[in-house]
Chain A
Amino acid sequence: MTTPLESAEPAVQAAGPADERPTSRGTLQYALSKAGGALFSIAMVLVGTFFVFRLLPGDPVRNLAQGRNMTPDQLDLERRRLGLDKPLIDQFLNFVGDTLRLDLGTSYEYKRPVIDLIGERIGPTLLLTGTGLVIAVSLGIWQGTRAGWRHGSRFDRVSTGVSLLLWSVPTFWLGLLLMMVFGVGIGPIPSLFPFRGIESVDAPDGFGYVLDVASHMVLPCLTLVAVVYAQYLMVMRSSLLEEVSQDYVTVARAKGLRDDEVRRRHAVPNALLPTVTLVFMRIGFVVGGAVTVEYIYTWPGLGQLFYRAIEVPDFTLMQGTFMLITVSVIVMNTLADVVYHLLDPRVRSA
């Protein structure tokens, strides 16, 4: 990607000779100020997480008892064990201290450290949402580029229409539909792909295991990609449309470059900028998984963990997963800002 970006001459020219190269000091300063902002956001999230989750209805101790008759002594014991007997402010201070030490506490429900649970779940989530992101971004950029370049063509109309249709379909509904059609099979379509979990119960070893996991990924991935790729397509399409009417494109054409060359070497690199930002922002959400998709396909990821935590409610687990999700979104947003700064000289001069 770097080669075509360097040839984005018009943008550099527009920024003027003084800013031709990013001075390391300026970039560092910029990155530091962004990082400061991010730290402040994270601090606010820390406070918010603690108090907002305690506003949720339901007493975790009672819910853990699952409606069983517990004596007041037993309830007291449970509360002491979970530290819920202490004043709220003490609970909060403990929470902040522990979080800073990266001790996310012990889950009420699983009775294991939250950090361990997250460690177990983050792999499957990254695999699923990461793959989904890569496919969605590639598909979106490819279709967006073609649609934007041949604006108003049949390809444009069809791809935009289909992607927007999928974008507006409820994930849960689409997931069940795909499960019924390609999982169970309908009419002439046989049962093609498994739809529960990340692996078969009696999964083979070695390369067979890789294939087993890959086949389990097909339906969840398809669902994830189908509902999100429209945003990459639309952003790519609209930013390319803006570039198409720019003078430098006309100049490139006037130079006698082939249409394909003009698009690939000149228009697309510039049009990619907003999409890059969007992708970075979405990477943050990758960590959070896709709660709905994981729930439909019993995918053992963070989304499923978060869903379970809310059901109880398991405060420590909710705090832990929520913190992880928000922090990764904030970090990635900050990174997006910095990367954009590096990629686009116009931002530096602003």
Chain B
Amino acid sequence: MRKWFARLAVLGAALLVAGQGATAAHAQDPAAGKKIVRVGATQAMDSMNPFLAVRLVSTSIHRWMYGFLTVPDSKTLQPSPDLAESWTTSEDGLTWTFKIRQAKWSDGQPITADDAAWTFNKMMTDEAAKTANGPAVENFESVTASGQDLTIKLKAPQASMLDNPVPIMPKHVWESVTDMANYDAEKYPAVTSGPYIAIEHKKDNYVKLQANPNYWRGKPKIDELQVIFYDNPQAAIAGLKNGDIDLLGRMTPQEFEGIQNNPNIEAWNTQGRRASYLQINHGATTSDDKPIGDGHPALKDVKVRQALHYAIDKQKLVDEVQNGLAKVADGSIVPPMYKDFFWEATGDTKVTYDPAKANKILDDAGYKKGADGIRTMPDGKRKLEWRFTIHTDTPIEDKLAEYMTGFLKEIGVTLTTVKLDSSKFTEETGITGNFDIAISGWSVNPDPEEVFATHLCSRRPDANGEGGGTESFYCNKTFEQLYKDQQKELDRTKRAEIIKKMQEQLYTDAPIIAIYYTNDLEGYRKDRITSITPIPEDKGLLYGGSGYWPFYTVDVKAQAAGGGSAGGGSNTGLIAGIVGGVIVVGAAAFLLTRRRKSTADERE
């Protein structure tokens, strides 16, 4: 019995000492003295293979790892040289020649035009390699290389060529990959041409990136960039508050308010890339022009859609739904941060909140109010009762729906909310057309072509529900022509004019109604990060931006020796040691008393 106690006591003491030892070991941990930036993400990486990865977090990480032909300029967001240091276009706009920079891959091999040609040709010949960026090479006729010269021949002119989203991959590493669909690219260190090299990836846990000494702009200021994954946003916010991570992007207004008054956190609130809009079922059709879905007939009438536009108090929505952290949309799908492409309605075109005017439009168009105050179709057969489709489990959209219901009541329309989970939502609002009004939104790239493409006739689903990718079921001749015109227009200013006309068309015809542009809400530890340059440099974005600029320029205090690493490490070791010790001693004491008792019993 005494032996028992003695043994346990020794074990407890050993645990305690070991706990202290671990703390001491922590003091000499290899991270000490290193400059490490830890970025939190609430989405885990889907694939390390850039040909397959589609999640935002993955494409961001790949942008930090790989070079592109061109990247948005850090000040103007206009295309600027990356791996292509210069380029020329033929008279007919069909042949593009890029001069590839004399630079090195992270393994020391030279970067040549052959690497770029291999990347594009792989995508053009291997269906699996199209998974991530297939549409980017759809218009390519042929891609050839000669030394540092890359020649791309197009099927039709394409002004967005300079916003090509395909990372250039090292041919000498990747050409041995035969089964692209199943290649996970988990080989470290990765061979890259951008500012960082991936050195470790623990699935659903973290990615570690090391500064690339061969990067052509020069090595980043920090040694290591870590992306740390959280399953849920609350834990990520707690991680930022606790200093486990240094930066966190993509916050909701509610989450953002939680960090606003924290003395150690810089709350980053700037104009964002995203436009939120209402998608209106104005008579959904398939790509062969057959009607589809069960949209309310009144919404086919452009006057009704315009009346709806007048009935929405966008300022109220910004204040109440987005807690003021958004900008009222007086334009369309391009947010104001893209200064040269942004269009804003003025004068007579501009729709401002005016329920009286909305009511007048509807009265004049013959939608008379019944005894119950609800309007009916001009033929009196059907009441104006619409559905508002939103996502489940999104408190912000719930709130939006409440206000929308109120606004529409003012103009004699009943609105009921339909909540769908995201896959069902996509199906009903993008394929089957079973909705009246739905919430939607799009994050726009520096070249906005893709967001306009989502309103093309060809994006409507076919009779089998295949293809698609429409955001509105829109199919309008004027819009189609403008889209083709901007594709051919290589002069940026002239192209911007056409793009503005397309926005005006969407604004007045109202297949969608933009309600607000949400702000980019992020936060970083100002006690750790000493400098970081947003993109664009003037009040731009950090994690939410396009390109590697913020993470190339970021600088941070070096890791203090001992502790300071994730989760207040030194404390934890000590605490775990003490807890372990206490448990063992407690158990020993318990056993001892028990033994005492039983011996006492035996004596009785």
Contacts and interface: CB of A to CB of B under 8 A. Distances in A.
Contacts of B568: 190-191
Given A66-B55, A81-B181, A109-B46, A196 B423 contact: no
Contacts of A57: 421, 423-424, 427
Interface stretch (B225-233, B357-365, B537-545, B548-556): B225-233
A260 interface: yes
B231 A194 contact: no
B131 A74 contact: yes
Interface string A174-199: 00100110011100001111111100
A68 B471 CA distance: 11
Contact of A298 (B31, B208, B235, B579): B235
B567 A304 contact: no
A307 B18 CA distance: 37
A158 interface: no
Contacts of A307: 231
A41 interface: no
Given A58-B427, A194-B244, A197-B205, A180 B238 contact: yes
Interface stretch (B20-28, B215-223, B408-416): B20-28
A191 B127 contact: no
A179 B18 contact: no
Interface stretch (B372-380, B516-524, B570-578): B570-578
A211 B131 CA distance: 42
Interface residues of A, number: 62
A71 B569 contact: no
A70 B38 CA distance: 34
Contacts of A110: 203
A304 B204 contact: yes
A67 B21 CA distance: 51
Interface stretch (B290-298, B322-330, B383-391, B462-470): B462-470
B601 interface: yes
Contacts of B101: none
Contacts of A64: 54
Contacts of B231: 294-298, 304, 307
Interface string B449-472: 000011000010010001111000
A66 B54 contact: yes
Contact of B566 (A59, A201, A207, A295): A201
Nearest to B207: A201
Given A180-B238, A204-B29, A69 B459 contact: yes
A179 B21 CA distance: 27
Given A73-B127, A112-B184, A212 B427 contact: no
B575 A77 contact: no
Given A192-B572, A212-B576, A298-B230, 6 more contacts: A71-B134, A72-B462, A192-B575, A295-B231, A298-B235, A304-B231
14 contacts: A64-B54, A65-B54, A66-B55, A72-B462, A73-B127, A74-B127, A75-B467, A110-B203, A111-B181, A201-B228, A202-B31, A208-B25, A211-B576, A215-B573
